[in-house]
Structure formats: C-alpha cells, structure tokens
Chain A
Amino acid sequence: MLLSTVFAAALVGAGPTSKPFEFKDGDRVVWLGSTLVEREQRYGYWETALVAANADKNITLRNLGWSGDTVRGEARASFDFNKPDAGFTLLVKQALKLKPTVIFISYGTNEAFEGKEGLPKFEKGLEKLLDALKPANARVVLFSPVGFEELPRFPFAKERNEALRPYREVVHSIAQKRGCCYAPLGELIALEALRARDVKPPYQLTDNGMHLTEAGYLGTVDAFRASLGLYPRRDEELGTLRKAIIAKNELFFHRWRPQNETYLFGFRKHEQGNNAKEVEVEFDPLVEKADEEVAKIRKGLK
C-alpha cells in the first residue's frame, strides 16, 4: 500500500524539519506518550516496521507509553498524585534511566481536551520536558498528536480535531525552534482515516473515534513509517519479527511497570521488598535475551 502522493503532500505541508530521521547502529530508542504509544507495544506493527526498515542496524526500543499521560507525566504519579511535579519527575527518570540515544515523544491529544486555555500549559510543559531530557543527549523526535476519526457514532470528532490543531502547531514550532525532528504522524493518520472510508470494503482505524484498534495500527504502518521518512518493506515477511518484538515488550512491561509496586518498591516494601529482587535482578537478563532474539530475526531479513 503505497501512498506516496498523499504522504509527499503531507510531508511538504509539515515543513522543512520533516526530512527522514536517521537511525544509527546501536541506537536505544525510548518512546514516551499515552495510550497510543502504550497500546502499540502489544501489537508491535510500528516498532516492527521501524526495526525492519533499519535491518542493517541494531536498534533496541523501550516503550514507556502510559495511558492517560501528558507532558507533565500526570498518569505516572501513583500515590504521589497530589504532589505537583511527582509524575513529571518520574517520567524523566524513567526515560533517562534507559540511557536513550533517541527519544520519541508523542503527546498532545489528552492536553487538547482543555482547549484554548490549556495551550500555554502544554507548550510550557513540552519545553520543560525537553529541557529535563537534555542530560540524555539524545536525538529527539516529536510526533504530532493524533486526532479523532470521524465516525457516525462520534459526531464530536470534527470539533475535537479543530481543538487539536493549535496543539499540533505548538509541537511543530517547538521542533523547528529546537531543531529536532518533527514527525507528522497525526496528519498522516488523519489522511489514512479518510482513505479508509473510501477503500473497498471501507474500514475504520478505531472503534471509538480515538484509539487505534489492532487493524488500525496495521492500517497505519505506512503512515508511521512515512512520518519518520522510513522506506517500506513488504509486511508479510515480518510476522516472526513482530512476534519476537511483542514478547520482548511484554517482558519489559513486567520489568518497568510490575504489579504490586506498593509492596515491592513502594511504602509497603518492608513487607514484600524481599521479592523485589525478582523484578530488579531476574527480569533484565530476560529482556536482554528477548532483544537478542529480535536482533537474530532482524539480521535474517537482510
């Protein structure tokens, strides 16, 4: 499914910073965002496309998406939700701990519910996040926020997309200002949603106007690739790779977001903290092994 004309149009529209993003051998990509990013890890289509498009390089990816999150790390604060900066501090800590060389940032959709009044807060928040991530010395990709699919059951999508537009502009202008890569994912997915209505048979990217379904992630692989300027590959070869990536993601999820945090690392760790080493010591080698499995399959692609 090549959509070169529309994509080209979108890329032109997105301005000069949207030249292809160059990955390097050994890159460690850390991906920050909300539900869109979090759910990608269980389907793996986008990550698979990224790895496959760079089959000559060893790239490891760590998905730190968290549902309901914002540039202020609101969803991550857990028991400290009343402390103004707790979520943000955690967000930054989680990212830096993984020693990224590339950071994907995908925020804005949740913030846009606050409309015009929320815009300055978003802008400041994104700047603050980028500043805080500087110690990583990583190349940053700012993905434009993804909007809403217009479906008959969700008549509000149009209005929501209008509210989202200035948020996208903020991401774009910050990317330009800071010289980081702007990936017009939101724009490209919007085009894909329009196209999905017209193909035969027509299909939807989402069930609820907001969240990509599994079919939605699959259907937007090209949009994702194009947003980074990556070359497409034939998808049917990638089933094994995708499976290995999903398995790696699941292990990593249990490592960084284990259940029972309260007892393992939190304020009740004096009760079950003895079991925390299971997570801290035993998971990491498993995740690394899963990375190796991904690498093995990737090398086979060449």
Chain B
Amino acid sequence: MRHLIPLALFALSPSFAFAQRDAKIPDPDPELERKTFQVAPGFEVTLWASDPLLAKPIQMNFDPQGRLWVASSEVYPQIKPGEKADDKIIILEDTKGAGKADKTTVFADGLLIPTGLEPGDGGVYVANSTELVHLSASKPGGKADRRKVLLSGFGTEDTHHIIHTFRWGPDCRLYFNQSIYIHSHIETPNGVKRLNAGGIWRFNPDKTELDVFCRGWINSWGHAFDRYGQSLVTDGAGGEGINHAIPGGYYLTSQGPHAQRVLHGLNPGSPKYCGLEIVSGRHFPADWQGDLITNDFRGHRVCRFKLQDDGSTFASREMTEVIKSDHPAFRPIDVKMGPDGALYIADWYNPIIQHGEVDFRDPRRDKTHGRIWRVTAKGRDLVKKPKLVDATIPELLKQLKSPEQWTRQQAKRVLKERGAEKVLPELGEWAKGLDGLDDHARLEAAWVRIAFGETAPAYDFRQIHDPGVRAAAIRNHAANLPPAQGTDQATQRCYVLAEVACVQGVTDPNPRVRLEAIRGLSRLRFPSAAEAALRALDKPMDRVLDYALWLTVRELEPYWLPEFQAGKLDFGGDAKKIAFALNAVGNRGTVKPVVALIDGGKVPKENLHGLYLLLAQIGGADELVKVLAYAGGDAGVTAAQRTELAQAAEDAIRTRKVPAPKQVPGLPSLLSDASGARRSAMRIAGLWKVQDQGRLLLGVVEDAKSTTEDRRAALDGLVAMGGPSMELALAGADDKKNPAARRDCIIAYTGVKLDYAALKAAEFLPDAKPDDELLDLFAAFTTRKGGATQLAKALALKNNKLPPDVAKIGLKAVRASGQPADDLAAALTKAGDLGAVKKPPTADEVKALAADALATGNAARGELIYRRKELQCLACHAYAGAGGQVGPDLTSIGASAQADYLVDSLLLPSKAIKENFDVTRVVTADDKVIQGIRLREADGLLVLRTAEDKEVAIPLKDIAERSKSTKSLMPEGLTDQLTKQEFADLVRYLSELGKVGGPFAPSKARVVRRWQVIDPTPTNLNLFRRTRVSAAAELDNPFTWAPAYSKVSGDLPLAELPKFTVWADTAPQSVIRFQLDVTTAGAAKLKFSSVAGLSMYVGNAPVEPKPETVLDLKSGVQTVTILVDRSKRTEDVRIELDDVEKSPARVSVVGGK
C-alpha cells in the first residue's frame, strides 16, 4: 500500500527544522576549513590571508609591486534603504616575505557592490554599479580621494551580473565582462555602444575606445589569456566548461545581429565555473604549464584543465582537482598566479551563494568572512619576486622574456605607465637586437607598441616561425584599426597592414592563423575582404573555421553582396565559395544566384543539400517546387535530408505564406515516402490546397494502422485544405469504432470550431483510454486561448462522469500549460471524483520535508526514483550534459542548493527559476498559446524550447501577445504520486549530487552517459525481421531510437533496457548506441566494464570488443552501435573513453538529449 504524502499531516517539530537550518552555518576557523581540503599530489595549501584582514572578496588582481588588490562587498546582494554604500577596495601585502599577508590597507570605501577591479595608471579601475571608475590617491600611499568616471550606463538588473572580471589583456587593453541580464548603453566619442545581454568588452581608457570583444554566456566570471593572447572563458551559470573565445564570436545566449548561430564551450556537460587563470612559470612543474585553473564554486572544488591544440581551436580535458573539499562555506571564486609563482585562490566563504533563489535578507548569508589561499608545489623553489616598479627600461624590456607570464604582463604595465616617449625608442633598439628566432619576444614588443596606441610592426609573415605569433600578429593589426576609416596617411597605413596580414594568413598552413585572418577580415569593410576570407575554403576547414567564415561573410554582407548582385564580384566563379557565401547570408535577395548555381551543375555534391535547404528558406513558390522535386526525385538524397528539405518547405509555406504554385510534381512521391518527409508533404498538400490529394489524406486518417504522427499530419493537412475532404475527415470525431482516430479528429476540430470540439471531447472522454496520447487532446484545449473554458463548459453541460485517470491526465495538461484554468481544473476534479486540489506547502512544511530527507532519505533509492519514466526528470534535466535540456543540468545541484530549496523546487517549481530558464509566453495570431525558454531571436523568428524539449520557431509577425511567464516549464504535482519515503529519497539523492567525497561527486571520467536504444515496437521488429539486427548499425537506418541515460556512476542499467526476440527461440537482445565527436582523427580507446555478450560496430564496421578497445577514428561524429545478447549478460554496461598515448586524436563523447 503506497501512502501519498499528505503534507499537512506530518509536519515535524519546529525545533528540528530550526536545528537543520542552523547546522548550515559552519565553524569559521580557517584551519578547520583547510583540513577539509584534498589537495593535488605534490602540492600544499596554506592560508595567505583571512578575516579580519578581508571580508567577502569578489575579485582580486595583483599590481606590479606584488600587492594583491581585492574588491569586497558586504552590501551584496542589495543595498538597504538609508544604508550608506560602504563597500571597499583593499590591498593585501606580504611585507615580510613570509608567504602570508600581514598588512591590509583600505584603498577606497563608500562603494556600491564593486564587482571588478584592476590596478593601474596610478590607482585602480573599479566596477561601481552603473559605472566604470578610476580611483586614485592624491598623496602617494594615501587613500583614494579622486574618482574619475570613465564609462557609465552599465545595467544593474542583477547584482551578480553587473560588470566584472576585469583583466589587462596582453595588449594592455582593459577587458571586462557583463552577464545575461545586463543591458548597457555606453556613450563614447565614437558613438553609443550597446550590449543587451552577456559579453566581453574591450576598453582603451586612453581614448575612451570601447568595443564588444565577443558576446554571450550566462554569467562569465572567468577570462584568461594564453601566451599568444588567445582568450579562454568560463561561465558561472552555463555548463560548457572552458570556452575558446574568438574575436567577435557569439556564444551561448548571445544577443546581436548574428545570434542565430553560436560557438560552444569545449567541455559540454560541465558544472558551472567561476574565475580562470593559466598556469605559467618555474614554480609549477613542466606538465602544468599552460593548464587552466578554475573554480567549481558550487561543488567546493578548484579544478584543472589541460588544453591541447585541436585544429583552429582547443581540446580541453579535466585533470585531478587542485583542491576539493566538503566544507559547505568553501567558495573558491577567483584564482590568480602570484608574483612568487604560486597560485592564489579567493574564497568568498559563504554557505549561501547567488541571490535569486535565496532571500536577499536570509540570515544565513555570511557578511564578514573571506580567505585567500595559496597553493604551492612541494619541494620546488618559489620564483623570486621580480623587481619591476623601480627597474630601468632596459631591465623591464628584459623581463618581457621572463618564463612567468605574470612578470611579462606586469612589466608591460610598468612600461606603459612610463610613457611612450621614454619607452618607444628603447623598445625599438631592443627589438632590433632580438634573435631572429625569438618570435615570442617580438610579439611582446608589439604588444607594448599597441599599449601605447601605436600600430604593430609590419611583419614578413614568412619569417615568423611560431604559428601562435603569426595568429597574434594578425589580430594586432586587425583589432586595432582606427575607429573611422579616415583618409590620412597613418590611418590608411593601418588598413593596408591589416589587409596584408589577413590576406597572407587566410591560407596559412596553421588553422589558428587562418582563424585569426578570417575574423580579422571582418574588420575591413570592403568587398574584396569577403573574397579574401572565402579563400580559406581552399584549405581544410573545421567547425570553428566554418563558424568564423560564416560570421565574417555575414558581417561583410553590406559590402560584398551588392557588388555580387551587380556582377562585379564573382569569387573566382568558384561554386563552393559562392555556395558558402550565399548560404551564410541566407538573404532573400540571393534567390536568383542560388538557382543559377544549382542549375550550373558545378556545385560539389556535399554542398548541394545546403543550397537546396537555403532555397527552401528563401525561395518563392517556384523554388519550393524545385526543392520538393529534388527531395522526392533525386536518388542521392538520404531519408534524413529528405525530411529536412520537406520540413523546410513546409516551414516556408507556413511562416512566409508562400502561395501555391500550379503544379507540385515532387509531392506524390513524398506523400508515399517512408520517412518523416511524408508528414511534411501531407501538411504541404493541405497548406497549398492540393484538393486532388484530399482522398489520400483521408485514407491515412481512416486507416486504423496509421501511426498517430501520420494521422495527425494528415488531419493538419485536411484542416488547412478545408472543403469536403475536411468535413468527411472530421466526421471521425463521432467514430466510436476507431478511438485513436476519434481522439485525433477532436484535436483537429479545436482549430476549426472550438466549442463543437469541446462538446465532442466531453462525449468522448468517458470512454477514453488514459494513455499518454490523451494528454494531447487536453493540451489542444489548454494551449488555445479560451480553450480550457470551452472544455469546462462542455463537461458541465454533458455532466458525464470521467474515469479518475482520465481526469488526472486532464489536470496534468492544465498544470503543464502554466496558465490559470481554474474552471477546467474544477470541472475535471468534479467529473473524475478527485479529491480537492492540493494546497501549496507552507514554509514550515518545506523545512520539515527537507529535514526529513536528510534524516531518513536514501540517495541510492532516490536515484532509481529519479529515473522513473513517469516522473519525467530525465526528459528535462541532464546530468553531466546527458539528458533533456529543458531544465538546468543537475550535476552539482546538491553542493550548491540547500535542501529546503530542493523541496521547494519539486513542489513549487515556479517559486525560483534559474536564470536563462525563465519562460516566454506567446499567443499567436490564430490564438495558439506557445510557451518555452527563449533560445534566440533572429531573422524575424523567435525560437523557443518547449517543455517537450522541442525547438519551435514562431514568426515575429504572427505574435499577437508576448510576455514573460512567472511559471516554470516544470509542471507542478510531478511528485504527487510518491510516498513520503520516496519523496525523502528523491530529495536526498538531489542533495547528494555534486557533493565531494560522496558516491555522486562529479567525475572527470569521459563516460558514455547519453545512449539511444531501439524499442521493440511492431515497426522496429518488422524491420529487424526484414533485414537483420546488425542493420541497426547502418548509416541512415530506418529504426526509431529512444533516449536512455546512464546513472551517475556511468552504468547503463541493463534491467531498464527494452529487450526483444526477433524470431521465436532466439536469444533476447537489446540494441544500444552512442556517438563520439572526433575533431582530430586518430586512435582512441573505449574501456568496457566487461564485454560479455556484446558485439560492436563503429559506423557499420564490426569491431571486436575487448576490455580496452582501441579504435582508429575518422574525424566527424562517429556512431558506435552495440548489440547486447541478454542471455549472455546481466551486468550493466559502462563505457569510458580514454586517450591512446601519442595519438593526435581529439575525441569527446556526445551528450545532450
């Protein structure tokens, strides 16, 4: 007997709940905290500074004297009325050289939540809410008494998104970030710069020159430059690990004119990371050089990543943590290399993080503590703190060759502050005397010139041996062009040098050089720049190069497209280049050249599909006919491509209202196609009112063997077509012999006559089968304006009893719609004789449930509950990147969220919604209500991700109403059916996720977590009988695959897998598959927990599985299919990807849904 949880009935004693809450505040003794640290072998951690020397550090940076500047805020998250903002900038010093700070100086106070700082130019640059200010002291060594406002107009919509992450770049420009909720409008002498979401700014304080360096991310609190000036970025709220940021690039959640395509991070499925530093210098061992250090502040870990070149970008791999801890207040949030070559970590020290989910005034927020930890390598000498501020110019120039990046960077800062007149002559001499092979020192010299606003030297690129330096040299020219393309000689020289550098670089043997050249060309606003960029296609491309070229060609569109249309520019007549360029801009004005290109017959085969797809997106009726004829008639088109083309044609007709042509010769063959193309073809037949096909569509509706999807597509087509065929089809709403068709006909009716549909539904529901597909019937009403009310009226009118399970499905639809429908909820409750609607839990009940989970919950049992299909957790939430994408990834939720927050999230999903998971609600012109998470908005389309994890594109002109919903996409009541113990187990499981030291701690192992399996549906079984089981490994195979996900341990539970026997007396089998993303080809290996009963295919080639199977992988996404002989295996399947020594391969496991 299962007990449902009557929340009010088992409230625990308040004292217990209170004790739980208090237990969260740990003993603040730093030594107790330090003892919880598990440190990487060979390293040790000491306390460098602690409260009361500092409190609540937010960002830190060293100055050239080796003093540590810290921005700290006790006002965060929100100033109280009448409270005087008194946040501080402090300077910490180790005056005795004892490896411990012994002096603290308040340099500035009276600030409001300073979220970033960078010392320089006789003071410090500070993020002060809406402004970027420079603070300085009129007396040397004194407190700041001068404040210059340098920039103003930064948004403050969220105090942990306001400008932050201040960095001097290697070019001595100030880089700083803003996050997703921030909308900034900054006046500069070169115009107003606007950035309406996250991104990184690049600022030259000398001239108030400000530009967006790149866009995106949710909350990017980490940015580091490698020794060549390449940018690496981490996101404190996104889950893609290390990002390689390229100039002008768009990343996750970008806003801007080219936001429809973004670049992704290098470690999808990561927890959130804050801060970023690159290891450099003699104190660290050789195998740490160039590694990245960042902080999993939720999981109490300081993490290390190794970067390797991977084509034009990098591959990034997590290594053993620098520190991991289970101390609830250890919050590493910033990390910096220090003047002694050690690593310094700022610990915000707080049991509560963020401020959206937890009350601003929650007493558990710590306001007084903070630590700086120092990590040193045991038995290795520290670096002697370099003499910089008192050094002569030749001494400083010498430091540009220091092995420590810290020293090189600080030396440049000191040189910059000495002034151009003193430095430039000596710099020139010094550079002349450099060894011809010392490319890197010359790069540093170029950066010093850039720092002074000078043009980088004109290089002969063939003389630079180090490709990293060639790449940087191109950027130095392209990124520092004068804002206005004036006619004076100096300006013109800048443009010529940039053009020469980019044109040389675009066909460089090294892909990263090509990347810089492609992006650099986007700054040269003339037609031939696009022509030069497209020359990159003559060399091997990779994903990032493809993106960079796409972006450059789009940004240059105003310059090249008119010339191209006028016939003055033809990209050498190279069909591949023309195809790329036209595809990139996707502009309606390019229909003619696209058609000409296709008709010319010279397009390489691999580009043809893309061109037809483009034609579907931009073309009119004649072009759509051409696309459909190609899709339906060309033998070279795969089923997936056919589906995509037909879908694109359907979308075009729907969203652009492309009128019907006279004839559609491709349609009949598509209507009899076995792929998804058929469904689009049926809808197209309707949208274009091809009455001749009405009979065929009607047949599909009436055929009892039709799949639901086919039947619904046919009905969609018939409703769009109207006329007698529609009338005949909709009569099926009364067909008692075919309940599935009856249900779908009623659904179709909602789009024709809503009140009649409601009556038909009220007649049908008493006999309806309470299956998943019935949900769609209810949803057809709840997602239509006024639909819920009509159905409630009809139910009351007919006054029939409903089976309770049917009524419950109806309530589920009401909840999922996220809109109030009290009338329908009441009607369903009455008709189904259901108990009263559950009241939301009180705060005390939530606390009691949280306490109960921690006291009695069992996480292992909780994981199995979490995996139950009916709870739908896996369908929406990913773990380590594998799983649905509708809700936040839960990899480290337990380490960051309090148990009461988890209970709240399960019972009241809308109480606190994670940023970037807020819901946009749209009502279309035809009264359909669509809700989802806004993915992007571009090209006149709004793209939402719905609760079903589908991307829906809505033409902006079809939107009648649009609002932000305060409801989460997560429906309420998901856990209603759980017993009290089950609920406790589930909460306990979630609260353990990401906790260091436990069985659910984050793992660095590259385990296969996202699988696809074949369900034994009649269609799939028939296909097996017609072919063979191994046909599942064929490319373009006709099976339908369902998702499956590993447990946190990586095991894919065999017991949960569907099994089937193809013929009587044969062994039961399961078929599973996963994908590997190979960005650089080579050998990699798979490690199996055991291989009993497994046979394996990579692509369609059989490979014998061994406990360690070495694969020789080609680049691209490779599918590994595994047949499981269930008579020979009972053990779960776990597969881990690993490197093969000396192999160049760069491989990752594909995650996602």
Q: Which residues of A contact B (CB under 8 A)?
A: 34-35, 38-39, 42, 66-69, 74-75, 77-79, 81-82, 109-110, 113, 148, 153-154, 156-157, 160, 207-211, 213, 254, 257-263, 266-272, 274-275, 278-279, 282-283, 286
Contacts and interface: CB of A to CB of B under 8 A. Distances in A.
B357 A271 contact: yes
Nearest to A278: B81
A75 B81 contact: no
A259 B159 contact: yes
A156 B152 contact: no
B187 A68 contact: yes
Contacts of A263: 158, 355-356, 360
B78 A275 contact: yes
Contacts of A34: 187
Given A74-B194, A154-B207, A272-B356, 15 more contacts: A38-B153, A66-B153, A68-B194, A160-B189, A208-B188, A210-B208, A254-B81, A258-B78, A259-B78, A260-B157, A260-B158, A260-B355, A271-B912, A278-B81, A282-B81
B482 to A, nearest CB: 10
Contacts of B157: 78-79, 259-262, 266
A211 B187 contact: yes
A148 B189 contact: yes
B937 A270 contact: no
A260 B153 contact: no
B396 to A, nearest CB: 25
Nearest to A157: B189
Nearest to B196: A81
Contact of B130 (A78, A79, A257): A257
B1048 interface: no
B208 A208 contact: yes
A115 to B, nearest CB: 11
B418 interface: no
B590 interface: no
Nearest to B962: A83
B966 A267 contact: yes
A35 B189 contact: no
Interface centre among A74, A157, A260, A263 (most CB of B within 10 A): A260
Contact of B192 (A38, A110, A153, A283): A110
Interface centre among B130, B153, B184 (most CB of A within 10 A): B153
Contact of A67 (B158, B181, B185): B185
A69 B183 contact: no
A260 B484 contact: no
Contacts of A78: 155, 157, 183
B80 A274 contact: no
B316 to A, nearest CB: 32
A215 to B, nearest CB: 10
Contacts of A258: 78, 156
In the A-B complex, list the 5 residue pairs whose CB atoms are closest, starting with the nearest.
A67-B153, A68-B185, A267-B964, A75-B185, A282-B81
A281 to B, nearest CB: 8
B359 to A, nearest CB: 7
Interface centre among A75, A210, A269, A274 (most CB of B within 10 A): A75
Interface in B63-115: 77-82, 112-113
B605 interface: no
B839 to A, nearest CB: 18
Contacts of B189: 148, 154, 156-157, 160, 208-210
Main secondary structure of the interface of B (DSSP, over half): loop
B162 interface: yes
Contacts of A266: 157, 964
Contact of B153 (A75, A153, A208, A269): A75
B152 A113 contact: no
A278 B206 CA distance: 40
Size bracket, chain B contacts: 35 or more
Interface string B336-374: 000000000000000000011101110000000000000
A47 B910 CA distance: 46
Contact of A210 (B78, B112, B187): B187
Contacts of B206: 153
Contacts of B964: 79, 266-267
A260 B208 CA distance: 27
A68 B183 CA distance: 11
Given A39-B149, A110-B192, A208-B207, A67 B156 contact: no
Interface centre among A67, A74, A82 (most CB of B within 10 A): A67
Nearest to B154: A67
Contacts of A79: 157, 181, 183, 964
Interface centre among A154, A207, A213 (most CB of B within 10 A): A207
A39 to B, nearest CB: 6
A35 B81 contact: no
B159 A278 contact: no
Contact of A274 (B156, B192, B359): B359
Contacts of A272: 355-356, 359-360
Contacts of A154: 189, 207
B79 A113 contact: no
Contacts of B1004: none
Contacts of A42: 149
A287 to B, nearest CB: 10
Given A67-B153, A271-B913, A260 B78 contact: yes
A260 B148 contact: no
Contacts of B359: 272, 274-275
B187 A110 contact: yes
B1057 interface: no
Contacts of B156: 257-261
B291 interface: no
Contacts of B361: 275
Nearest to A283: B81
B953 to A, nearest CB: 16
Nearest to B453: A153
B129 interface: yes
B937 to A, nearest CB: 7
22 contacts: A35-B152, A35-B153, A42-B149, A67-B153, A68-B184, A75-B194, A79-B183, A79-B964, A110-B187, A210-B187, A211-B208, A257-B130, A259-B78, A259-B112, A259-B113, A262-B157, A262-B158, A271-B356, A271-B913, A272-B359, A275-B78, A275-B361
Contacts of A39: 149, 152
Interface centre among A34, A42, A153, A272 (most CB of B within 10 A): A272
Interface in B805-819: none
Nearest to A266: B157
Interface in B144-197: 148-149, 152-153, 155-159, 162, 181, 183-189, 191-194, 196
B79 A270 contact: no
Nearest to B78: A260
Contacts of A77: 183
B900 interface: no
A74 B937 CA distance: 19
A213 B208 contact: no
A12 B156 CA distance: 43
B360 A210 contact: no
Contacts of B360: 260, 263, 272, 275
Nearest to A284: B81
B505 to A, nearest CB: 30
A268 B910 CA distance: 10
Contacts of B194: 68, 74-75, 81
Interface in B851-901: none
A231 to B, nearest CB: 30
Contacts of B188: 208, 210
B75 to A, nearest CB: 9
B539 interface: no
Contacts of B130: 67, 257
Given A68-B194, A208-B207, A38 B79 contact: no
A219 to B, nearest CB: 16
B992 interface: no
A127 to B, nearest CB: 21
A67 B184 CA distance: 9
